[in-house]
């Protein structure tokens, strides 16, 4: 069939099952936007390209589908960068299509030209500068395949404007042929058997689950293995929700702001089985002391993760759906003993959980930020999709929300991107229109992409935003307090900060405010009962620390405020 390059892009996206695109137009993608005008694809106009990238990311994390965003060349494309890097660090499947200046003027510093494939090379799984319109269908087919298979990630397709108006014979390829890319779902059974053997020998085994489990949709499998053999589990930030947080076998998040039980368990275990984790330095603390008494087994789909940070004694490379299923059968020999085996170890770790639960000083005078999270969790019955920005509020959300299922916690882990929350929540809500979505943000983070409120209002999304407004850049202030002699250099917003109720109203959303602990439950209840987007300005006390805390570079058992009582 004859069609223009722009029509070919649109038709290819339809063939990939895309339903929703987030984007922002401009000169060099105009023909593509023109083609969108008469097709069935739904396009959401965000208010900033960074918003489009984060929204596509939030959509992908909430649904497991590939997120798609469009931007024009030059400034449009560079505005995507933070969103692309965020998705890359957390292995989120995404396809970004950017306009480029016409082929004839590429490389001449033309108006709105930027070398976007060059710029994004280190932060994409792969990228393309398309030079020939007839390649468009193949490139799009490949891009989606690369984005969603193996270790997922973002792919950029840069399309010079002239290709969008060239007529081609459209034919969508059925298969992908890439010599250099053959993700292997199934690994070596012997590697799995070695781990099962190590488990049989272990006295203090510990599972450590990460975002890979959620990406691979392998959480039910993992849960089965854990329940059958009753092995204690800790999670990374990205792994929260893989095992219900309320499961007694789940000891909580590990690392800098992890629980006492999780961090002590790492220091004490004799076999640590990392599953879809990348042993980030926020997790390991001082590497030399991390799990020093343990053999380490590592399950991952990405071979390059093995031995990257922590040297693994045993490694299983492959899709977790394959490897965990294989582990399940290899462990079957451990049999019904599962309940009794490791009982002492289990008792020990659960004792730590009971003796040193997450806690904070309650107050009747000021709203404690932790209490806001607890109240949101209570009122949403731990069923909402929780999205966060980055800072103290993010860590409190990770600590105090009782996540019950995968994809219920959406947060920027690897890059730690402030401004991620609102657009990601918009994407998540559009991907899961029937789920309650609550964004927990900080005043600093929220201001970074607050313009996306306009997008939420335009689509009347039922999104609820809770700003834990401490009028400071809380997490940075915490570091200044603990490690810089309370020299609070530029972390307080002058003049009392912004009026978020009026800001919300200016955008056409509902604004609510809570200033005292008594008002808090009502305000949250009202927000949840109000239609459309609601912003809650919750005035929390500023001088609060996220605890426990392992100082950067310290071993995990050196926790500030992490004593076992």
Ligand X SMILES: Cc1ncc(C[n+]2csc(CCOP(=O)(O)OP(=O)(O)O)c2C)c(N)n1
Q: How far apart are the C-alpha atoms of 163 and 73, rounded to whole Å? A: 14
Catalytic residue among 475, 536, 549, 559: 475
138 touches other proteins (CB under 8 A) = no
Active-site pick, 141, 161, 204, 368 = 161
- Residue 125 annotated to the active site: no
b/e sequence 185-197, b meaning 16+ C-beta within 10 Å: eebeeebbbbbbe
Is residue 115 within 8 A of residue 76, CB to CB? The reply is no
Selected binder of other proteins within 2, 40, 179, 362 (CB under 8 A):
179
Q: Which partner from the list ligand X, other proteins, none does 321 bind, CB cut-off 5 to 8 Å by kind?
A: none
The total number of residues written for the chain in this structure? 565
The reply to whether 267 belongs to the active site is no
Choose the one of ligand X, other proteins, none that binds residue 120, judging by a C-beta under 5 to 8 angstroms depending on kind: none
Q: Does 306 bind other proteins (CB under 8 A)?
A: yes
Task: Name which of ligand X, other proteins, none residue 307 binds, using a CB cut-off of 5 to 8 Å depending on partner kind.
Answer: other proteins
Which x/- pattern, by CB under 6 A, does the window 456-475 give for ligand X? ------------x-x-xxxx
Q: Taking the complex as a whole, how short is the minimal distance between the CB of residue 269 and other proteins, in angstroms? A: 24
Q: Should residue 392 be labelled a site residue for ligand X when binding is judged by CB under 6 A? A: yes
150 near ligand X, judged by CB under 6 A: no
226 binds, among ligand X, other proteins, none (CB under 5 to 8 A by kind): none
308 binds, options ligand X, other proteins, none, Cβ within 5 to 8 A by partner type: other proteins
417 binds, among ligand X, other proteins, none (CB under 5 to 8 A by kind): ligand X
> Which of 26-34, 298-306, 495-503, 509-517 is the region at the interface with other proteins (rule: CB under 8 A)?
298-306
Helix (H, G, I), strand (E, B) or coil at 468: strand
Q: Please identify, among the stretches 48-56, 280-288, 296-304, 480-488, the one whose residues bind other proteins according to the rule CB under 8 A.
A: 296-304
| Listed residue (281, 12, 27, 47) closest to 137, CA to CA | 12
Binding piece for other proteins, criterion CB under 8 A, among 72-80, 115-123, 184-192, 467-475: 115-123
- Binding to other proteins by residue 184, rule CB under 8 A? no
Whether cis (ω within 30° of 0) applies to the bond prior to 548 is: yes
Round to whole Å and give the CA distance between 227 and 338. 9
Identify the residue among 43, 48, 54, 125 touching other proteins (CB under 8 A). 125
Residue 419 and residue 416: Cα distance in Å, rounded? 10
Q: Which of 47, 298, 393, 407 binds ligand X (CB under 6 A)?
A: 393
Tokens of 205: 């085994």
Task: Give the H/E segment covering residue 168.
Answer: strand 167-169
Phi, psi of 329 (to 5 degrees): -75, -35
Task: Give yes or no for residue 82 binding other proteins (CB under 8 A).
Answer: no
Determine whether 370 is an active site residue.
no
Task: Check: CB of residue 442 under 8 Å from CB of residue 413.
Answer: no
Taking the alpha carbons of 533, 536, 537, 541 in that order, is the dihedral positive or negative?
negative
Residues 405-424 that bind ligand X (CB under 6 A): 416-419
- Binder to other proteins among 122, 361, 362, 485 (CB under 8 A)? 122
Q: Among the candidate windows 1-9, 170-178, 254-262, 387-395, which touches ligand X by CB under 6 A?
A: 387-395
Which positions ≥6 away from 242 have C-beta within 8 Å? 209, 213, 214, 219, 222, 223, 235, 406
171 counts as catalytic = no
CA–CA gap between residue 144 and residue 133 (Å, rounded): 18
Helix axes 392-400, 474-483, angle to 10 degrees: 100
Stretch of 68-76, 97-105, 384-392, 527-535 lying at the interface with ligand X (CB under 6 A) = 384-392
Q: Does 371 bind ligand X (CB under 6 A)?
A: no
Element containing residue 439 per DSSP (H, E): strand 437-442
- The span from the CA of 459 to the CA of 466, in Å, is 19
Partner touching 306 among ligand X, other proteins, none, CB below 5 to 8 Å by kind = other proteins
Return the structure tokens found at 221: 């499998």
CB 297 within 8 A of CB 195: yes
The residues that bridge with 297 in the sheet, in sequence order, are 273, 314
Residues near other proteins (CB under 8 A) are 117-118, 121-122, 125-126, 129, 146, 178-181, 302-304, 306-308, 311
């Amino acid at each position: 069939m004859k069609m223009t390059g722009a029509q070919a892009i649109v038709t290819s996206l339809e063939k990939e099952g895309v339903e929703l695109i987030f984007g922002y137009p401009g000169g060099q993608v105009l023909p593509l936007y023109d083609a969108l005008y008469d097709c069935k694809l739904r396009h959401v106009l965000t208010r900033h390209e960074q918003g489009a990238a984060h929204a596509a990311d939030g959509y992908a994390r909430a649904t497991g589908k590939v997120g798609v965003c469009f931007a024009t060349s030059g400034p449009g494309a560079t505005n995507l960068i933070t969103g692309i890097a965020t998705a890359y660090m957390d292995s989120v499947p995404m396809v970004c299509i950017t306009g480029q200046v016409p082929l004839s003027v590429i490389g001449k510093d033309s108006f709105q030209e930027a070398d976007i494939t060059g710029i994004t090379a280190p932060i994409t799984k792969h990228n393309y500068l398309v030079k020939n319109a007839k390649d468009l269908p193949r490139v799009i087919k490949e891009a989606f395949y690369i984005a969603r298979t193996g270790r997922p990630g973002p792919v950029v397709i840069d399309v010079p404007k002239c290709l969008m108006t060239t007529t081609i014979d459209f034919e969508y390829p059925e298969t992908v042929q890439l010599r250099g890319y053959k993700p292997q779902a199934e690994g070596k059974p012997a590697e799995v058997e070695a781990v099962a053997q190590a488990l049989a020998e272990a006295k203090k085994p510990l599972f450590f689950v990460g975002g890979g489990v959620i990406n691979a949709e392998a959480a039910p499998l993992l849960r089965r293995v854990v329940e059958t053999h009753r092995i204690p589990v800790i999670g990374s930030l990205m792994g929260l929700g893989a095992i219900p947080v309320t499961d007694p076998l789940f000891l909580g998040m590990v690392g800098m702001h992890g629980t006492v039980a999780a961090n002590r368990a790492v220091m004490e275990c004799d076999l640590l089985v990392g599953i879809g984790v990348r042993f980030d330095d926020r997790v390991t603390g001082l590497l030399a002391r991390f799990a020093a008494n343990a053999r380490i087994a590592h399950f991952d789909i990405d071979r390059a993760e093995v031995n990257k940070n922590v040297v693994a004694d045993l490694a299983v490379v492959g899709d977790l759906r394959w490897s965990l299923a294989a582990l399940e059968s290899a462990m079957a020999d451990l049999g019904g003993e599962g309940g009794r085996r490791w009982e002492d170890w289990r008792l020990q770790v659960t004792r730590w959980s009971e003796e040193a639960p997450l806690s904070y000083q309650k107050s009747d005078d000021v709203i404690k930020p932790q209490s806001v999270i607890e109240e949101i969790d209570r009122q949403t019955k731990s069923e909402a999709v929780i999205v966060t920005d980055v800072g103290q509020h993010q860590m409190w959300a990770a600590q105090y929300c009782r996540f019950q299922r995968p994809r219920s916690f959406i947060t920027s882990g690897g890059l730690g991107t402030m401004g991620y929350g609102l657009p990601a929540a918009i994407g998540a809500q559009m991907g899961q229109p029937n789920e309650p979505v609550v964004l927990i943000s900080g005043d600093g983070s929220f201001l970074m992409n607050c313009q996306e409120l306009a997008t939420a209002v335009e689509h009347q999304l039922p999104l609820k935003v809770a700003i834990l407004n401490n009028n400071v850049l809380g997490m940075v202030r915490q570091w200044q307090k603990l490690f810089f002699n309370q020299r609070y250099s530029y972390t307080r917003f002058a003049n009392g900060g912004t009026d978020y109720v009026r800001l919300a109203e200016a955008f056409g959303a509902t604004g609510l405010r809570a200033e005292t602990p008594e008002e808090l439950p009502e305000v949250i209840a009202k927000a949840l009962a109000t239609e459309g987007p609601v912003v809650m300005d919750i005035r929390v006390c500023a001088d609060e620390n996220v605890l426990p805390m392992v100082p950067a570079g310290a071993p995990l058992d050196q926790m500030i405020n992490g004593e076992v009582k």
